[in-house]
Structure 1
Amino acid sequence: MGSFWLPPDSPSAASIGEDWAPIPLQAPAEWTVHKNAIVARRLPSGRYEVNDSEDLFWASKRPPAGEREDIHLDAGWYGSRFRLVVFVRDWDHIRRDLSTTDLGEFITTLESWLAGSHG
């Protein structure tokens, strides 16, 4: 995987050191986090490296009133980009999908969708 820039004032940048460690995420209590393998380190160049797995993050939550299926949020690295997907039931029922090569956008979007702004 390549390396990424983060804005110096980014909360993620402040939490990433030189050793591999999880990026702390803000996940509201209604989400059950099944997997969080988003780990990163700061390189001597000041850039950041993140592990390159298709299975970086998976969480689910109970459906809102009137719906029957749990909502899932899945995130991973797919060859050359991060991908975030909100779906119900299975991958044939995607509600929201984002692909990005920007680490800051990846983390910001993941936390935003966890907070409920995923449409």
Structure 2
Amino acid sequence: MAKQILIVDDAAFMRMMIKDILSKNGFEVVGEAQDGVEAIEKYKELKPDLVTLDITMPEMDGLAALKELKQLDGDANIIMCSAMGQQAMVIDAIQAGAKDFIVKPFQAERVVEAIQKALD
């Protein structure tokens, strides 16, 4: 069965790009969210195998959402997505329990590699 993934990014274009990469590589995108608050609601509802989580978002940013998701489910597989120059935030995210991070603009091979590694 295909691994189920929740994509969280405030930019619809970025969600579409990740969704496209994942679909072509045999993953099932079960949901999308545009901020941390929505991400937590969708996570509870969908129980995905993995979440891709943007760092910079309105309402609740990716770091806050990551911490809440890890409290909700200590086994949650979460990969952070960041733009260049957000290294400090990425380190915070890894320390808070993120499995990996991928940098925008996305490279398909790197996205797939990070997800497979996090799910193993």
Q: TM-score, normalised by structure 2?
A: 0.32
TM norm structure 1: 0.32
More strand by share: 1
The structure with the larger Rg is 1
